[in-house]
Chain A
Amino acid sequence: MLAGGQSLMPLLAFRLARPTLLVDLNRLGAELGGVEAEPGGALRIGALARQRAVERSGALSVLGEALALVGHPAIRNRGTVVGSVCHADPAAEVCAVALALDGSLELRSIRGRREVAVDELLTGPFSTAIEPDELAVALRLRPPAGWRWRVLEVARRAGDFALAGVVAGVDPAGGDARLAVFGAAPRPYRLDGPPAGLAERAAAAARPSGDLHGGVAYRRHLVGVVARRALAALGTDAA
């Protein structure tokens, strides 16, 4: 499936992906491009809704905040929100938002339709439970009422994939929090609970891989830093 092509085209250019059949979704904008608020507070984002359009729509501020950190505007003009989830980059901001907001992906094939929770969907780095014959038609996000969110990451340059990042939220009373950590493990992971100690738990759960941009210990340390900072910015006394 070719959506925005911002991940797939480089894979093709590097000859890392050599599909025998490529389905270009881009003429299905009318059918798959929508973003709708559903009764019950969920947001349904169609497969061809571009990252930049969703960011600018203001439909969901935490998603907008996360998208602003995805690459650069030119990339977001083409890249799709759903494509980012399907691509399952461990450092993808969108996957972490989807995980934090109990997201699920609506999949269709000639065999029928199914809805898979993002937590089950993401099976590892760049791998998902999507079957080869399935098309993701929409991402459904379920932001809990009244929660406040913050997205923070550390990257070497503005727009780079994060060395470590976090989507953090607190409930209106400030007693319950969620963290979805990205860039620090084979797939994003989530921790729920009272804010105190949550950042330390997040750092302890990190399974980063080291590379020339940062070693394992450094990246684990960064998880703690961004988690603490995000929770502090949300007014919790986690730090």
Chain B
Amino acid sequence: MSEVDPSRPLVGQPVRRVEDARLLRGRGRFVADLSPIAGIHHAAVVRSPHAHARVGAVDASAALALEGVIAVVTPDDARRLLRPFGVGVGGAEPYWPLALDTARYAGEPVAVVVARDRYVAEDAADLVAVDYEPLAPVLDVEAGRVVSDRSFRYGDPDAAFAAAAHRVEASFRFPRYSSTPIECYAVVAEWDAAAGEATVWSNFHGPFVMQPLIAASLGIPENRLRLVVPADIGGSFGIKSGVYAYIPLIALASRLAGVPVRWTADRWEDLVASQAGTDRLTRAAAAVDAEGRILGLRLEILDDVGAHLRPPEPATLYRCFGNLVGPYAVEHLAVEARAVLTNRPPTGLNRGFGGQQLYFTLERLVEMVGRRVGLDRVEVRRRNLIPAQHMPYRTPTGGVYDSGDYPALLDTLLREGDHTGMLAERDRLRRAGRLAGVGMAMIVDPSGTNLGYIDLARTPEERGRGLGKSGCTESATLTMDPMGGVRLRIATAPEGQGHETVAAQIVADALGVPMAAVRVDPSIDTASQVWNVSSGSYSSRFAPIVASAIHRACAALRERILAIAAEILEVDAADLELVGGGVRARGSDRAVPLRRVAGVAHWDPGALPPGVEPLLSVTASFSSELARSPAGDDTVDSSICYGGVGGLCLVDIDPDTCAVTLLRYASVHDSGRILNPLLADGQVAGALAHGLGGALYEELAYDPDGNPLTTSFMDYLCPTVREMPELRIHHLRGDTDFVPSRAKGIGEGTCMAAPAAIASAVTDALSGHGVEVTELPVHGGRIWEWLHTRERGEP
């Protein structure tokens, strides 16, 4: 590990995480560690044992009779005191956080018990008698009700298909999986009956567009809902965004019980009733010319969003709309995008959000194109990549790729990923009797979401009628103490990414102070800090958006500091610089410590130069002008930045047991400037584990009645360190001038690419058996069945 050179700018250096000291010592403070208010009681959620059932009478009398139980929230209470969450699109019915008359997935909340402790609450939950009338569940996405249905055409896809020399088509199924954060959902809610206000401590991390939705569900104005999020959240990868749906329920429990109420989900609840990535069926076709160039694509996308169209769904369909063509210069597209209800739990954000689903289809299809026209997987990609000179590149769907050299990325991938070595190792394994394969994927990694993309779920006519949607805004509040210490407040609610570290690097560089002088607080309190609906952690937005807001805040505070120092030093502000904890006249030794400058503002504002505000605190924001609501032709720039990611890998399959092992993986990135290579590489390794999970291990599975089969880590298999391959990471260190931070996100790309790359390698390994991997996860049992159904001549 290279060392940090304190004489150089800290941004770009492998600075160690300031968070680790507390986290590694077990001193992190998570929601379950907080006792923010006296008299907290504990909730247990009564959940439907049926995937689909009419909910009749709910009799809580036996539960209420148990000593220690103080309240039970029933569907009647919810009907009386809550409102359903607003659902963005027409076709779906309102989404209530509690099943009122119909339970639509096994695990759906039906009642909430409040008791003196969790133990009693769980005992009482067993005593709540619910009259269920089981109904037939719908589990097949092709049989489910379509609740969002849109058709898009970009360019002239019909002409492209008519002119094509080849038409390559296939269907692809991407599985439903999670990220299983270590810390599960946690909420403490206090209903203040006198004020008609709710205060909620939770590990919700945004997007804070949900704050108004929660307030509306509780029937209170937004300024009477205070959401507090501690600085420590034990992982999320998007999954915890779904905790918002439980907040009105626990607040209602507090309202009825008259005491503050805590609910901490256990692992079973997390696996059956939190949130999952969307499983997707895509019917895809490519129009290809004789040289293997893809002229057009048809994508018919069916997203199984589960039992409810829970906001922000159907966002999975649209998050990658601007980058629907990936790194390829495809000009004509026809897309059908449908969200379908089934009797499975609701879906939502999951690291890679929409990307792994998209690229699994696109990358498998590109390789099938290659085989059809006789090109190897490198050459077919090379022929289709967007040339570097076309950057910035506007995709047919409206994305504006800010920068990147995809052909160079491919070359770098082959070189740094040791393609030759992997092929040699594959061949050696094959000679030894193994089934080995090499696979690859090339993707575009969107970061810094423009929330406007969600509006594609509405037609241009529907959009025309109401308020437009757009935005990626983030703000940062930077304050200098009387003694010159610096405090930064950001509304990001990180879940372990290390925002405190990177934010401090940026501030330290900009103000010329040591990192230790910068205190970063990424916790959220919606009552006392600046935030907006796009605040939070999601869509890899820290590097492009949040870091840019911090840059702006630093610039604004710097200006104020320099104005004061100019007066003290009697030097023009333009000739001053911030270094070594003070302000210095460039090229001289005239300097004043920041402490002095801050002292003037705090203690002696009468001495301030005219026009300088007597406040060393600034709030600045960043929002890209590219974040616009979708245009009338349904184009949208769904993300502010687009990185390039390549993945290359080697798998080994045991010919007898069919067990698959990922032996090597190389991940090559162009993510603009790297703010902290240590953290960037950590993100890549974590994203690989997640992508590997989706490719080979993880799947939320259900039996034919819709009962969850993966209810503990015995059956829901996350890869451990022992399943991780030898990993090579390489950064191209490009640039982008679309955002002041010049950095793009990096935390999701590898988990978008890895499932496709691993599927490609497994297909290569099984090439002698004519197997094309079109569904995941792949594991020994499945491969054995594929090989054996083929041996027996079955389809």
Residue on B with the closest CB to A72?
B720
With beta carbons under 8 angstroms apart, the residue of A213, A226, A229 that contacts B779 is: A213
Residue on A with the closest CB to B718?
A157
Interfacial residues of chain B within 20-52, with CB under 8 A of chain A in the complex? none
Tell me, yes or no, whether A158 is within 8 Å of chain B by CB.
yes
Tell me, yes or no, whether B659 is within 8 Å of chain A by CB.
yes
Complex CA distance for A72 and B709, rounded to whole angstroms = 23
Known contacts A212-B699, A215-B781, A158 near B723 by CB under 8 Å: yes
With beta carbons under 8 angstroms apart, the residue of B126, B699, B723 that contacts A157 is: B723
Chain B interface size band reads 20 to 34
What is the count of residue pairs linking A and B with beta-carbon distances less than 8 angstroms? 58
Whether B723 pairs with A212 at a CB distance below 8 angstroms is no
Measuring CB to CB, which residues of chain A are less than 8 angstroms from any residue of chain B? 10, 13-15, 72, 154, 156-161, 163, 211-215, 217-218, 221-222, 225-226, 229
Tell me, rounded to whole Å, the shortest Cβ–Cβ distance linking A106 to chain B: 30
Known contacts A10-B712, A212-B715, A225-B657, A157 near B785 by CB under 8 Å: no
Whether A156 pairs with B720 at a CB distance below 8 angstroms is no
7 closest A-B pairs (Cβ-Cβ)? A214-B781, A158-B722, A225-B656, A218-B784, A212-B701, A218-B781, A154-B657
Tell me, rounded to whole Å, the shortest Cβ–Cβ distance linking A13 to chain B: 8
The listed residue with most B CB atoms (<10 A of its CB), out of A14, A161, A213, A222, is A213
Whether A157 pairs with B720 at a CB distance below 8 angstroms is yes
Residue on B with the closest CB to A212?
B701
Whether B720 pairs with A159 at a CB distance below 8 angstroms is yes
Tell me, rounded to whole Å, the shortest Cβ–Cβ distance linking B785 to chain A: 7
Known contacts A158-B723, A212-B709, A221 near B784 by CB under 8 Å: yes
Whether A222 pairs with B720 at a CB distance below 8 angstroms is no
Complex contacts, B701 vs chain A, CB 8 Å = 212
Known contacts A215-B781, A218-B785, A221-B784, A156 near B717 by CB under 8 Å: yes
Known contacts A161-B714, A217-B788, A156 near B657 by CB under 8 Å: no
Complex contacts, A160 vs chain B, CB 8 Å = 714, 717
Tell me, yes or no, whether B719 is within 8 Å of chain A by CB.
yes
Residue on A with the closest CB to B719?
A157
Residue on B with the closest CB to A164?
B657
Whether B657 pairs with A14 at a CB distance below 8 angstroms is no
Whether A159 pairs with B780 at a CB distance below 8 angstroms is no
Complex contacts, A229 vs chain B, CB 8 Å = 656
Whether A157 pairs with B697 at a CB distance below 8 angstroms is yes
Tell me, rounded to whole Å, the shortest Cβ–Cβ distance linking A11 to chain B: 11
With beta carbons under 8 angstroms apart, the residue of B122, B659, B710, B781 that contacts A15 is: B122
Residue on B with the closest CB to A229?
B656
Tell me, yes or no, whether B603 is within 8 Å of chain A by CB.
no
Known contacts A14-B268, A217-B788, A225-B657, A157 near B717 by CB under 8 Å: yes
Whether A213 pairs with B781 at a CB distance below 8 angstroms is yes
Residue on B with the closest CB to A161?
B714
Whether B657 pairs with A159 at a CB distance below 8 angstroms is no
Q: Could you list some 23 contacts between A and B, CB below 8 A? A: A14-B712, A72-B720, A156-B780, A157-B697, A157-B720, A157-B723, A158-B720, A158-B723, A160-B714, A211-B709, A211-B715, A212-B699, A212-B701, A212-B709, A212-B715, A213-B715, A213-B779, A213-B781, A214-B780, A214-B784, A218-B784, A222-B657, A225-B657
Complex CA distance for A10 and B266, rounded to whole angstroms = 12
Whether A157 pairs with B657 at a CB distance below 8 angstroms is no
New A-B pairs, 14, CB < 8 Å, besides A212-B701, A213-B781: A14-B712, A15-B126, A72-B720, A154-B657, A154-B659, A211-B709, A211-B715, A212-B709, A214-B781, A214-B784, A217-B788, A218-B780, A218-B785, A225-B657
Complex contacts, A161 vs chain B, CB 8 Å = 714
The listed residue with most B CB atoms (<10 A of its CB), out of A161, A215, A226, is A215
Residue on B with the closest CB to A226?
B657
Known contacts A213-B781, A215-B781, A156 near B697 by CB under 8 Å: yes
Complex contacts, A218 vs chain B, CB 8 Å = 658, 780-781, 784-785
Complex CA distance for A159 and B719, rounded to whole angstroms = 11
Whether A154 pairs with B780 at a CB distance below 8 angstroms is yes
The listed residue with most B CB atoms (<10 A of its CB), out of A159, A160, A163, A218, is A218
Residue on B with the closest CB to A228?
B656
Complex contacts, A163 vs chain B, CB 8 Å = 780-781
Complex contacts, B779 vs chain A, CB 8 Å = 156, 213
Complex CA distance for A213 and B779, rounded to whole angstroms = 8
Complex CA distance for A181 and B268, rounded to whole angstroms = 31
Interfacial residues of chain B within 688-719, with CB under 8 A of chain A in the complex? 697, 699, 701, 709-710, 712, 714-715, 717, 719
Chain B 770-795 against A: per-residue CB contact (8 Å), 1 yes, 0 no? Answer: 00000000011100110010000000
Complex contacts, B658 vs chain A, CB 8 Å = 218
Complex CA distance for A41 and B562, rounded to whole angstroms = 86
Tell me, rounded to whole Å, the shortest Cβ–Cβ distance linking B144 to chain A: 21
Complex contacts, A154 vs chain B, CB 8 Å = 657, 659, 780
Chain B 114-129 against A: per-residue CB contact (8 Å), 1 yes, 0 no? Answer: 0000000010001000
